Structure formats: C-alpha cells, structure tokens
C-alpha cells in the first residue's frame, strides 16, 4: 500500500520507507472540489476544532480563531464572496481561519498592559502561521473520518467584505478557508504528484542546483497526471510563472498590505 501511495505522490517508483496508518492517510491527501449534500455527524465540528487546537502555537498565544459557516443561505453568500467557487456552496461546512490579534489586544487592555508589540509584522505572521498549523491538523483529522477538504485562498481576495460578513473585530482577518464534507465519489480519485524531495529537501545548506534539477522530471509526471485526470493544464513551470507574473494575477491580494492596515494591523 505504501509503495503505491509514494508512487502516486512522486509520479515514479520510490523506495520503501517507514510507514503506518497515519502516514498512509497523509500520503493519500487530495483536494476535493465536489461534495455530497450529506450533513456532518453531531459533534464532528467540535472534534475537528479540538484537533486544530491541539496543534503547536507560537508561545501559546493561540493567535487564531475560526468561524464555522454551515447555514445554507450564508454558504451561498460566502460562495459569492469566494468568486463563485461551487465547493463553498456544496460543502456542508466551511471554516474561515482568522489571524486574530484582537483577543490578545483585548486581554492586554483588560489588565492595563501595553501591547505595542502587536503593531509589528511579526505578530501578523504569528497569527497566520498559527492558523495554518491548526488548519492542517483539522484537515488530517477530517480525512481520518473519510471527509474531503479544499483549502480556499480565494477568501483573501476581499478581506474587508469578509470581515463585514463574519463581523470580525479590528486586528482580525481571514487568511484562508477550508471547505469540508463528504467527497462526491462520482468524481475520479487522483493523487497529484509533487516535486522530487531533492528539490525541496536540502542537507545542511541550500543547494540551488538541486532545487531546479528535478523540475523537468516533475513536469513529465504532472503532465501524465493531468492526462489521467482529463485536465487541460499548461506545464507546471509556465502555470507557476503565470501565477507570479504581475500584480493583476493576484486578484486583489496585491493590495493586501494597505487593506490590512485599514483593518487595524499597523504592520510596522
């Protein structure tokens, strides 16, 4: 089983490495964009959040929050804010992960303690990183129950409207969403290959040559994947370069720094 999963993940034959059920589950991860209408069982949301809260947190500041959107009408409204991505409307649960410095600011206010450190970019990064670590725990937990997930970076495109929709306080902003539900089994299951480890794993120091050497092999593996999945997509290098070509392709996120300042993050 493990050898098959590694072959799919890297698009080629791989050696046998240590494995267990958790590793197999992680290696099987894929993004789902179609979901069944089935509701989640009672207590599932709380279980997933408990998994998220069990993740590491910088200095135990717990500088993240999450807003669960389950109401069908609100899911449809959120889908519109999310550029019309249908998985937001289909999935019975979308979690909006928030980099949240407002709680720390309120606690400092309540005890009359200074909070100047919250004005720096570092603290926004702490909130965003804490949210990301928690979300990955939620994803692994969800997949252990047979649920599918889809990360939603699109929720950063309109941060002020998202804040109004979720009634966020100043110094709190959505950094991404996570749609969760039972996958639509009618869609074929494919595991998208990743770059060879030699491209991302460096020993002792960064090796620029090795970072680039596996790219042609990866292009071939991803092209084969796209053929199996019946996807018409440009080669990876061209696709990736397009995504960083200019400010326009950032779809509004090029203005994120100014928007965050208006939302109460000084970002010094």
Of the listed ranges 57-66, 154-163, 199-208, 241-250, the one predicted with least confidence:
241-250
In a domain, 14, yes or no: no
pLDDT of residue 47: 98
Q: What pTM does this model have?
A: 0.94
pLDDT interval class at 252 (50, 70, 90): confident
Q: At what angle do helices 236-243 and 215-228 cross, to 10 degrees?
A: 100
Query: What region does 73 belong to: left with phi over 0, alpha with psi -120 to 50, or beta?
Result: alpha
The residues near 247 (Cβ < 8 Å, ≥ 6 apart) are 254
pLDDT of residue 172: 98
In a domain, 268, yes or no: no
pLDDT of residue 232: 76
Dihedral sign computed on CA atoms, order 184, 186, 187, 191 = positive
Going by C-alpha positions, the residue among 6, 93, 99, 83 that lies closest to residue 42 is 93
Residue 206 CA: distances (Å) to CA of 10, 131, 202, 241: 21, 27, 5, 22
In a domain, 10, yes or no: no
> Is a pLDDT exceeding 70 seen at residue 112?
yes
The residues near 53 (Cβ < 8 Å, ≥ 6 apart) are 62, 134
In a domain, 149, yes or no: yes
The order of strands in the sheet holding 93-100 is 64-69, 93-100, 172-181, 148-152
- Please, what is the average pLDDT of the chain? 94
In a domain, 172, yes or no: yes
> Is a pLDDT exceeding 70 seen at residue 187?
no
- Determine the longest span between alpha carbons in the chain, in angstroms: 61
Distance between CA atoms of residues 101 and 265, nearest Å: 9
In a domain, 105, yes or no: yes
In a domain, 3, yes or no: no
User: Domain containing 177 — which CATH number?
Assistant: 3.40.109.10
Q: How many domains does the chain have?
A: 1
In a domain, 115, yes or no: yes
Going by C-alpha positions, the residue among 130, 65, 66 that lies closest to residue 94 is 66
- The answer to whether 155 touches 174, Cβ cutoff 8 Å, is yes
Going by C-alpha positions, the residue among 176, 179, 178 that lies closest to residue 253 is 176
Dihedral sign computed on CA atoms, order 214, 6, 225, 180 = negative
pLDDT tens per residue, range 116-173: 999 999 999 999 999 999 999 999 999 999 999 999 999 999 999 999 999 999 999 9
**Domain coverage including residue 175:** 31-190+252-262
pLDDT of residue 227: 87
pLDDT higher at 252 or 86: 86
Give percent of the chain with pLDDT exceeding 90: 82
Distance between CA atoms of residues 1 and 73, nearest Å: 42
> Is a pLDDT exceeding 80 seen at residue 1?
no
> Is a pLDDT exceeding 80 seen at residue 185?
no
Distance between CA atoms of residues 157 and 165, nearest Å: 14
pLDDT of residue 190: 79
The single-letter DSSP state of residue 92 is S
């Amino acid at each position: 089983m493990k050898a098959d999963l590694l072959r799919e993940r890297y698009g080629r034959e791989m050696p046998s490495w240590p494995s267990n059920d958790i590793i197999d589950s992680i290696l099987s991860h894929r993004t789902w964009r179609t979901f069944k209408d089935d509701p989640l069982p009672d207590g599932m949301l709380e279980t997933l959040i408990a998994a998220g809260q069990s993740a590491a947190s910088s200095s135990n500041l717990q500088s993240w929050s999450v807003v669960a959107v389950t109401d069908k009408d609100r899911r449809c409204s959120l889908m519109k804010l999310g550029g019309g991505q249908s998985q937001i409307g289909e999935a019975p649960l979308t979690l909006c992960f928030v980099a949240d410095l407002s709680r720390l600011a309120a606690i400092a206010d309540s005890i009359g303690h200074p909070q100047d450190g919250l004005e720096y970019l570092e603290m926004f990064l702490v909130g965003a990183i804490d949210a990301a670590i928690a979300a990955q725990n939620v994803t692994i937990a969800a997949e252990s129950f047979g649920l599918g997930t889809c990360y939603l970076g699109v929720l950063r495109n309109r941060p002020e409207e998202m804040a109004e929709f979720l009634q966020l306080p100043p110094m709190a902003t959505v950094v991404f969403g996570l749609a969760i539900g039972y996958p639509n089994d009618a869609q074929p299951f494919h595991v998208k290959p990743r770059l060879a480890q030699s491209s991302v794993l460096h020993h002792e120091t960064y090796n620029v040559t090795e970072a680039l050497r596996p790219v042609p092999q990866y292009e071939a593996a991803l092209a084969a994947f796209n053929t199996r999945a019946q996807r018409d997509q440009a080669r990876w290098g061209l696709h990736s370069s397009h995504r960083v070509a200019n400010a326009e392709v950032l779809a509004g996120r090029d203005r994120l720094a100014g928007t965050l300042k208006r939302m109460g993050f000084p970002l010094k």
